[in-house]
Amino acid sequence: MTPPNLSPADQQRLDDLYARLRECSTRSVGYPCNQAFDYSDLFRFLEFSINNVGDPFHGTNYRLNTMEFEREVLADFARFSRAPADEWWGYVTSGGTEGNMYGLYVARELFPDGICYFSEDTHYSVAKVLRLQHTRNIMIKSQPDGQMDYADLRETLRIHRDVPPIIFANIGTTMTGAVDDLAQIRAIMDDLAIGNAYIHADAALSGMILPFVDAPQPWTFADGADSISISGHKMLGSPVPCGVVLARKANVDRIARSIEYIGALDTTIAGSRSGFSPLLLWHRLRSLGDAGLRNMVHTCLGNAGYAVQQFRAQGIEAWCHPNSITVVFPKPPPSMMEKWTIAPRKNIGHLIVMPHVTRPTIDAFVADYATALKPPP
Ligand SMILES: *Cc1c(COP(=O)(O)O)cnc(C)c1O
Protein backbone atom coordinates (compact mmCIF):
# COMPACT_ATOMS: atom_id res chain seq x y z
CA MET A 1 0.00 0.00 0.00
CA THR A 2 1.39 3.43 -0.92
CA PRO A 3 1.35 5.90 1.96
CA PRO A 4 -1.11 8.79 1.66
CA ASN A 5 0.33 11.76 -0.16
CA LEU A 6 -1.51 15.03 0.43
CA SER A 7 -0.30 18.28 -1.12
CA PRO A 8 1.06 20.83 1.42
CA ALA A 9 -2.03 22.97 0.75
CA ASP A 10 -4.41 20.11 1.54
CA GLN A 11 -2.35 19.20 4.60
CA GLN A 12 -2.71 22.80 5.76
CA ARG A 13 -6.48 22.63 5.32
CA LEU A 14 -6.61 19.64 7.66
CA ASP A 15 -4.45 21.45 10.20
CA ASP A 16 -6.74 24.48 10.05
CA LEU A 17 -9.84 22.31 10.45
CA TYR A 18 -8.28 20.59 13.44
CA ALA A 19 -7.49 23.93 15.09
CA ARG A 20 -11.04 25.19 14.47
CA LEU A 21 -12.68 22.08 15.93
CA ARG A 22 -10.43 22.23 19.00
CA GLU A 23 -11.43 25.83 19.60
CA CYS A 24 -15.19 25.14 19.20
CA SER A 25 -15.46 22.03 21.31
CA THR A 26 -15.39 23.67 24.76
CA ARG A 27 -17.83 26.42 23.71
CA SER A 28 -20.41 23.90 22.53
CA VAL A 29 -22.83 24.25 25.45
CA GLY A 30 -26.25 24.18 23.78
CA TYR A 31 -26.16 20.70 22.27
CA PRO A 32 -26.21 17.50 24.30
CA CYS A 33 -22.93 16.08 23.04
CA ASN A 34 -20.39 15.02 25.60
CA GLN A 35 -16.97 16.20 24.36
CA ALA A 36 -14.95 14.78 27.25
CA PHE A 37 -13.56 11.41 26.15
CA ASP A 38 -10.35 9.66 25.19
CA TYR A 39 -10.64 6.83 22.69
CA SER A 40 -6.98 6.68 21.70
CA ASP A 41 -6.94 2.95 22.68
CA LEU A 42 -9.18 2.33 19.68
CA PHE A 43 -7.39 4.29 16.94
CA ARG A 44 -5.71 1.14 15.59
CA PHE A 45 -9.11 -0.37 14.75
CA LEU A 46 -9.49 2.27 12.04
CA GLU A 47 -7.04 0.12 10.04
CA PHE A 48 -9.85 -2.30 9.17
CA SER A 49 -13.00 -2.13 7.10
CA ILE A 50 -15.18 -3.35 9.96
CA ASN A 51 -18.87 -3.83 9.19
CA ASN A 52 -21.64 -5.16 11.46
CA VAL A 53 -24.15 -5.76 8.66
CA GLY A 54 -27.21 -7.68 9.83
CA ASP A 55 -28.58 -8.89 13.15
CA PRO A 56 -25.99 -8.73 15.96
CA PHE A 57 -27.42 -11.88 17.59
CA HIS A 58 -27.47 -13.93 14.41
CA GLY A 59 -23.98 -13.27 13.01
CA THR A 60 -23.04 -12.71 9.36
CA ASN A 61 -20.79 -14.14 6.64
CA TYR A 62 -18.70 -10.97 6.86
CA ARG A 63 -16.02 -11.87 9.39
CA LEU A 64 -14.59 -8.37 10.03
CA ASN A 65 -17.20 -7.50 12.61
CA THR A 66 -17.44 -6.55 16.30
CA MET A 67 -20.81 -8.17 17.04
CA GLU A 68 -19.52 -9.90 20.15
CA PHE A 69 -18.75 -6.47 21.62
CA GLU A 70 -22.00 -5.06 20.28
CA ARG A 71 -23.97 -7.73 22.18
CA GLU A 72 -22.18 -6.80 25.42
CA VAL A 73 -23.06 -3.13 24.88
CA LEU A 74 -26.70 -4.07 24.26
CA ALA A 75 -26.80 -6.20 27.40
CA ASP A 76 -25.67 -3.19 29.46
CA PHE A 77 -28.37 -0.99 27.94
CA ALA A 78 -30.95 -3.75 28.51
CA ARG A 79 -29.97 -3.75 32.18
CA PHE A 80 -30.15 0.08 32.37
CA SER A 81 -33.62 0.11 30.78
CA ARG A 82 -34.93 -2.90 32.79
CA ALA A 83 -35.65 -5.00 29.71
CA PRO A 84 -37.30 -8.37 30.49
CA ALA A 85 -34.62 -11.12 30.70
CA ASP A 86 -34.26 -13.07 27.41
CA GLU A 87 -37.24 -11.21 26.00
CA TRP A 88 -35.45 -8.24 24.42
CA TRP A 89 -33.61 -7.60 21.19
CA GLY A 90 -31.69 -4.60 19.87
CA TYR A 91 -28.79 -3.22 17.86
CA VAL A 92 -26.34 -0.33 17.75
CA THR A 93 -27.82 2.32 15.44
CA SER A 94 -26.48 5.36 13.62
CA GLY A 95 -28.16 7.56 16.26
CA GLY A 96 -31.36 8.38 18.09
CA THR A 97 -33.33 9.03 14.92
CA GLU A 98 -32.74 5.54 13.51
CA GLY A 99 -33.75 4.06 16.88
CA ASN A 100 -36.99 6.05 16.86
CA MET A 101 -37.62 4.95 13.30
CA TYR A 102 -37.07 1.31 14.30
CA GLY A 103 -39.50 1.57 17.25
CA LEU A 104 -42.16 3.19 15.07
CA TYR A 105 -41.57 0.56 12.38
CA VAL A 106 -42.17 -2.32 14.80
CA ALA A 107 -45.26 -0.53 16.12
CA ARG A 108 -46.65 0.01 12.64
CA GLU A 109 -46.03 -3.63 11.64
CA LEU A 110 -47.92 -4.76 14.74
CA PHE A 111 -50.76 -2.27 14.30
CA PRO A 112 -50.96 -1.35 10.60
CA ASP A 113 -54.01 0.84 11.27
CA GLY A 114 -52.64 2.32 14.49
CA ILE A 115 -52.52 6.04 15.16
CA CYS A 116 -49.32 7.51 16.55
CA TYR A 117 -49.68 10.18 19.25
CA PHE A 118 -46.79 12.49 20.00
CA SER A 119 -46.51 15.86 21.71
CA GLU A 120 -45.69 19.24 20.21
CA ASP A 121 -42.29 19.09 21.93
CA THR A 122 -41.27 15.89 20.14
CA HIS A 123 -37.98 15.92 18.20
CA TYR A 124 -38.40 17.23 14.64
CA SER A 125 -37.25 13.94 13.10
CA VAL A 126 -40.35 12.06 14.26
CA ALA A 127 -42.79 13.84 11.93
CA LYS A 128 -40.47 12.86 9.06
CA VAL A 129 -40.37 9.20 10.11
CA LEU A 130 -44.15 9.07 10.38
CA ARG A 131 -44.48 10.56 6.92
CA LEU A 132 -41.99 8.05 5.48
CA GLN A 133 -43.92 5.17 7.02
CA HIS A 134 -47.36 6.52 6.17
CA THR A 135 -48.36 6.10 9.78
CA ARG A 136 -51.52 7.94 10.80
CA ASN A 137 -50.64 10.40 13.53
CA ILE A 138 -52.06 13.09 15.78
CA MET A 139 -50.08 15.77 17.58
CA ILE A 140 -50.95 16.23 21.24
CA LYS A 141 -50.62 19.57 23.03
CA SER A 142 -47.69 20.15 25.35
CA GLN A 143 -47.77 21.70 28.78
CA PRO A 144 -45.72 24.90 29.17
CA ASP A 145 -42.89 22.91 30.82
CA GLY A 146 -42.62 20.59 27.78
CA GLN A 147 -44.45 17.50 29.09
CA MET A 148 -47.30 16.01 27.11
CA ASP A 149 -50.69 17.47 28.04
CA TYR A 150 -52.31 14.35 29.52
CA ALA A 151 -55.83 15.82 29.44
CA ASP A 152 -55.49 16.41 25.69
CA LEU A 153 -54.10 12.87 25.26
CA ARG A 154 -57.05 11.37 27.17
CA GLU A 155 -59.61 13.31 25.17
CA THR A 156 -57.99 12.44 21.84
CA LEU A 157 -57.64 8.74 22.71
CA ARG A 158 -61.27 8.66 23.83
CA ILE A 159 -62.43 9.86 20.41
CA HIS A 160 -60.33 7.18 18.62
CA ARG A 161 -60.92 4.28 21.00
CA ASP A 162 -61.45 1.84 18.14
CA VAL A 163 -57.89 2.29 16.77
CA PRO A 164 -54.80 0.93 18.56
CA PRO A 165 -52.66 3.80 19.87
CA ILE A 166 -48.92 4.03 19.22
CA ILE A 167 -47.62 6.40 21.89
CA PHE A 168 -44.39 8.19 21.11
CA ALA A 169 -43.17 9.26 24.57
CA ASN A 170 -40.40 11.80 25.10
CA ILE A 171 -37.99 10.75 27.80
CA GLY A 172 -36.29 14.10 27.97
CA THR A 173 -37.47 16.58 25.33
CA THR A 174 -34.82 18.32 23.27
CA MET A 175 -35.63 21.83 24.46
CA THR A 176 -36.56 21.47 28.15
CA GLY A 177 -35.61 17.91 29.14
CA ALA A 178 -39.26 17.12 30.05
CA VAL A 179 -40.17 13.46 30.61
CA ASP A 180 -43.60 12.18 29.50
CA ASP A 181 -44.97 10.10 32.38
CA LEU A 182 -45.39 6.48 31.22
CA ALA A 183 -47.31 5.57 34.38
CA GLN A 184 -49.88 8.27 33.69
CA ILE A 185 -50.13 7.33 30.01
CA ARG A 186 -50.70 3.65 30.90
CA ALA A 187 -53.29 4.67 33.50
CA ILE A 188 -55.21 6.74 30.93
CA MET A 189 -55.29 3.78 28.51
CA ASP A 190 -56.42 1.39 31.27
CA ASP A 191 -59.12 3.82 32.25
CA LEU A 192 -60.41 3.98 28.68
CA ALA A 193 -60.20 0.14 28.47
CA ILE A 194 -57.77 0.31 25.56
CA GLY A 195 -56.11 -3.12 25.38
CA ASN A 196 -53.98 -3.02 22.23
CA ALA A 197 -51.35 -0.30 22.44
CA TYR A 198 -47.67 0.29 21.80
CA ILE A 199 -45.34 2.69 23.61
CA HIS A 200 -42.02 3.83 22.16
CA ALA A 201 -39.72 5.79 24.48
CA ASP A 202 -37.40 8.36 22.90
CA ALA A 203 -34.71 8.50 25.57
CA ALA A 204 -32.02 10.08 23.36
CA LEU A 205 -30.34 11.98 26.19
CA SER A 206 -32.08 10.97 29.44
CA GLY A 207 -31.77 7.24 28.75
CA MET A 208 -28.20 7.57 29.99
CA ILE A 209 -29.16 9.78 32.96
CA LEU A 210 -32.22 8.15 34.54
CA PRO A 211 -30.56 4.72 35.18
CA PHE A 212 -28.16 6.46 37.56
CA VAL A 213 -30.45 8.68 39.67
CA ASP A 214 -32.21 7.72 42.91
CA ALA A 215 -35.77 8.65 41.90
CA PRO A 216 -36.15 8.31 38.11
CA GLN A 217 -39.41 9.16 36.35
CA PRO A 218 -41.05 5.97 34.94
CA TRP A 219 -39.44 5.34 31.51
CA THR A 220 -38.28 1.69 31.28
CA PHE A 221 -39.62 -1.58 29.86
CA ALA A 222 -40.74 -2.36 33.42
CA ASP A 223 -42.83 0.84 33.29
CA GLY A 224 -44.54 -0.22 30.08
CA ALA A 225 -42.25 0.83 27.21
CA ASP A 226 -42.23 -1.57 24.24
CA SER A 227 -39.13 -0.09 22.59
CA ILE A 228 -36.51 2.45 23.66
CA SER A 229 -34.04 4.53 21.65
CA ILE A 230 -30.94 6.10 23.25
CA SER A 231 -28.21 8.16 21.56
CA GLY A 232 -24.59 7.10 22.13
CA HIS A 233 -22.93 10.39 21.21
CA LYS A 234 -25.01 12.40 23.69
CA MET A 235 -24.50 11.52 27.36
CA LEU A 236 -21.88 8.80 26.85
CA GLY A 237 -19.95 10.73 24.22
CA SER A 238 -18.55 9.48 20.92
CA PRO A 239 -16.61 10.98 18.00
CA VAL A 240 -19.09 9.43 15.56
CA PRO A 241 -22.88 9.63 15.95
CA CYS A 242 -24.38 6.36 17.19
CA GLY A 243 -27.11 4.99 19.44
CA VAL A 244 -28.87 1.93 20.73
CA VAL A 245 -32.39 0.66 20.15
CA LEU A 246 -34.04 -2.08 22.19
CA ALA A 247 -37.43 -3.72 21.68
CA ARG A 248 -39.46 -6.63 23.00
CA LYS A 249 -38.24 -9.78 21.26
CA ALA A 250 -41.67 -11.25 20.53
CA ASN A 251 -42.58 -8.14 18.52
CA VAL A 252 -39.29 -8.15 16.61
CA ASP A 253 -39.59 -11.85 15.72
CA ARG A 254 -42.82 -11.13 13.92
CA ILE A 255 -41.08 -8.83 11.44
CA ALA A 256 -37.70 -10.57 10.95
CA ARG A 257 -36.79 -11.64 7.43
CA SER A 258 -33.83 -13.79 6.42
CA ILE A 259 -31.57 -12.64 3.53
CA GLU A 260 -29.37 -15.33 1.99
CA TYR A 261 -26.77 -13.07 0.32
CA ILE A 262 -25.32 -11.72 3.56
CA GLY A 263 -26.19 -14.87 5.54
CA ALA A 264 -27.84 -12.63 8.07
CA LEU A 265 -31.24 -11.84 9.48
CA ASP A 266 -32.34 -8.51 8.06
CA THR A 267 -33.82 -7.13 11.26
CA THR A 268 -32.05 -3.76 11.24
CA ILE A 269 -33.05 -0.60 9.33
CA ALA A 270 -29.55 0.15 8.04
CA GLY A 271 -27.84 -2.54 5.94
CA SER A 272 -24.11 -2.01 6.45
CA ARG A 273 -23.62 -0.77 10.00
CA SER A 274 -20.61 0.67 11.80
CA GLY A 275 -18.53 -1.92 13.60
CA PHE A 276 -16.46 0.88 15.11
CA SER A 277 -19.21 2.62 17.10
CA PRO A 278 -20.04 -0.52 19.16
CA LEU A 279 -16.35 -0.58 20.12
CA LEU A 280 -16.52 3.07 21.20
CA LEU A 281 -19.59 2.41 23.35
CA TRP A 282 -18.05 -0.75 24.80
CA HIS A 283 -14.83 1.10 25.65
CA ARG A 284 -16.78 3.86 27.36
CA LEU A 285 -19.02 1.52 29.35
CA ARG A 286 -16.10 -0.66 30.45
CA SER A 287 -13.71 2.17 31.31
CA LEU A 288 -16.26 4.12 33.37
CA GLY A 289 -18.19 1.18 34.83
CA ASP A 290 -21.54 1.72 36.57
CA ALA A 291 -19.88 3.67 39.38
CA GLY A 292 -18.11 5.98 36.91
CA LEU A 293 -21.32 6.54 34.94
CA ARG A 294 -23.21 7.36 38.12
CA ASN A 295 -20.47 9.74 39.11
CA MET A 296 -20.51 11.47 35.71
CA VAL A 297 -24.30 11.89 35.83
CA HIS A 298 -24.28 13.23 39.39
CA THR A 299 -21.52 15.72 38.61
CA CYS A 300 -23.57 17.03 35.66
CA LEU A 301 -26.78 17.24 37.72
CA GLY A 302 -24.88 19.13 40.43
CA ASN A 303 -23.45 21.52 37.85
CA ALA A 304 -26.90 22.04 36.32
CA GLY A 305 -28.21 23.05 39.76
CA TYR A 306 -25.22 25.36 40.13
CA ALA A 307 -25.99 26.94 36.74
CA VAL A 308 -29.62 27.65 37.73
CA GLN A 309 -28.36 29.41 40.90
CA GLN A 310 -25.82 31.49 38.98
CA PHE A 311 -28.41 32.62 36.41
CA ARG A 312 -30.87 33.55 39.14
CA ALA A 313 -28.20 35.50 41.00
CA GLN A 314 -28.07 37.69 37.86
CA GLY A 315 -31.85 38.02 37.75
CA ILE A 316 -32.19 35.61 34.81
CA GLU A 317 -35.19 33.26 35.25
CA ALA A 318 -33.53 29.88 34.62
CA TRP A 319 -35.02 26.51 35.58
CA CYS A 320 -34.50 22.79 35.19
CA HIS A 321 -36.70 19.64 35.42
CA PRO A 322 -35.92 17.01 38.10
CA ASN A 323 -33.14 14.61 36.94
CA SER A 324 -32.36 16.86 33.98
CA ILE A 325 -29.15 18.57 32.93
CA THR A 326 -31.00 20.90 30.54
CA VAL A 327 -31.06 24.40 32.04
CA VAL A 328 -33.75 26.52 30.39
CA PHE A 329 -33.65 30.33 30.22
CA PRO A 330 -35.19 33.16 28.14
CA LYS A 331 -33.67 33.29 24.66
CA PRO A 332 -30.42 35.27 24.94
CA PRO A 333 -29.61 38.42 22.91
CA PRO A 334 -28.05 37.82 19.45
CA SER A 335 -24.54 38.85 20.61
CA MET A 336 -24.47 35.68 22.79
CA MET A 337 -25.26 33.45 19.84
CA GLU A 338 -22.11 34.47 18.00
CA LYS A 339 -19.76 33.42 20.76
CA TRP A 340 -21.56 30.37 22.13
CA THR A 341 -23.08 27.43 20.30
CA ILE A 342 -26.69 27.57 21.54
CA ALA A 343 -29.83 25.97 20.09
CA PRO A 344 -32.70 28.48 20.55
CA ARG A 345 -36.38 27.82 19.93
CA LYS A 346 -39.18 30.34 20.09
CA ASN A 347 -38.56 32.35 23.24
CA ILE A 348 -36.25 30.01 25.13
CA GLY A 349 -32.67 28.84 25.03
CA HIS A 350 -30.88 26.20 27.02
CA LEU A 351 -27.56 25.15 28.40
CA ILE A 352 -27.00 21.42 28.40
CA VAL A 353 -24.66 20.73 31.25
CA MET A 354 -22.62 17.89 29.79
CA PRO A 355 -19.36 16.72 31.39
CA HIS A 356 -17.26 19.19 29.35
CA VAL A 357 -19.45 22.08 30.59
CA THR A 358 -17.57 22.84 33.81
CA ARG A 359 -18.31 25.46 36.45
CA PRO A 360 -15.77 27.95 34.99
CA THR A 361 -17.51 27.55 31.60
CA ILE A 362 -20.90 28.12 33.28
CA ASP A 363 -19.54 31.22 35.05
CA ALA A 364 -18.22 32.63 31.76
CA PHE A 365 -21.53 31.92 30.02
CA VAL A 366 -23.65 33.55 32.73
CA ALA A 367 -21.31 36.55 32.88
CA ASP A 368 -21.56 37.05 29.09
CA TYR A 369 -25.35 36.72 29.25
CA ALA A 370 -25.59 39.28 32.06
CA THR A 371 -23.34 41.69 30.10
CA ALA A 372 -25.38 41.23 26.92
CA LEU A 373 -28.55 42.20 28.83
CA LYS A 374 -27.11 45.49 30.04
CA PRO A 375 -27.84 48.50 27.83
CA PRO A 376 -24.66 49.86 26.13
CA PRO A 377 -23.05 52.73 28.10
C1 LIG B 1 -31.11 14.30 19.79
C2 LIG B 1 -32.48 13.79 19.88
C3 LIG B 1 -32.99 12.89 18.93
C4 LIG B 1 -32.23 12.51 17.68
O5 LIG B 1 -31.11 11.81 17.98
P6 LIG B 1 -29.91 11.75 16.93
O7 LIG B 1 -28.96 10.88 17.68
O8 LIG B 1 -29.44 13.15 16.72
O9 LIG B 1 -30.42 11.13 15.69
C10 LIG B 1 -34.25 12.40 19.13
N11 LIG B 1 -34.98 12.75 20.18
C12 LIG B 1 -34.53 13.61 21.11
C13 LIG B 1 -35.40 13.95 22.28
C14 LIG B 1 -33.26 14.16 20.99
O15 LIG B 1 -32.84 15.02 21.92
Task: Going residue by residue through the chain, which has 377 residues, state the pLDDT in tens, using 9 for 90 and above.
Answer: 677 889 999 999 999 999 998 887 766 777 777 777 899 999 999 999 999 998 999 877 889 999 999 999 999 999 999 999 999 999 999 999 999 999 999 999 999 999 999 999 999 999 999 999 999 999 999 999 999 999 999 999 999 999 999 999 999 999 999 999 999 999 999 999 999 999 999 999 999 999 999 999 999 999 999 999 999 999 999 999 999 999 999 999 887 765 556 566 678 899 899 999 999 999 999 999 999 999 999 999 999 999 999 999 999 999 999 999 999 999 888 888 778 877 778 889 999 999 989 999 999 999 999 998 887 76
Fold type of domain 43-285: Aspartate Aminotransferase; domain 2 (3.40.640)
Predicted TM-score of the model (pTM): 0.94
97 Cα: distance to centroid of ligand 1 (angstroms): 6
Torsions phi, psi for 348 (to 5 deg): -125, 160
Helix (H) or strand (E) holding 140: strand 136-140
Q: Residue of the nearest CA to atom 5 in ligand 1?
A: 96
181 Rama class: left (phi>0) / alpha (psi -120 to 50) / beta: beta
Let me know: does 109 contact 255? Beta carbons within 8 Å. yes
Rg (CA), the chain: 22
Helix (H) or strand (E) holding 118: strand 115-119
Alpha helix segments (H runs only) across 169-246: 182-191
Atom of ligand 1 nearest to the CA of 97: 9
Look at residues 228, 223, 180, 186 and name the one whose alpha carbon lies nearest to residue 207. 228
Let me know: does 168 contact 104? Beta carbons within 8 Å. yes
Atom of ligand 1 nearest to the CA of 231: 7
Domain ranges for the chain: 43-285
171 Cα: distance to centroid of ligand 1 (angstroms): 11
Alpha helix segments (H runs only) across the chain: 8-25, 67-80, 96-110, 125-133, 150-159, 182-191, 249-253, 276-313, 334-339, 359-373
Coil/strand/helix, residue 261: coil
119 lines ligand 1 (CB under 6 A): no
243 lines ligand 1 (CB under 6 A): yes
Active site residue 231: no
81 lines ligand 1 (CB under 6 A): no
Cα dihedral 115, 121, 125, 126, rounded to 10, equals: -10
In Å, the largest CA–CA distance within the chain is 73
Torsions phi, psi for 302 (to 5 deg): -65, -45
93 Cα: distance to centroid of ligand 1 (angstroms): 12
Sign of the four-CA dihedral 96, 58, 110, 220: negative
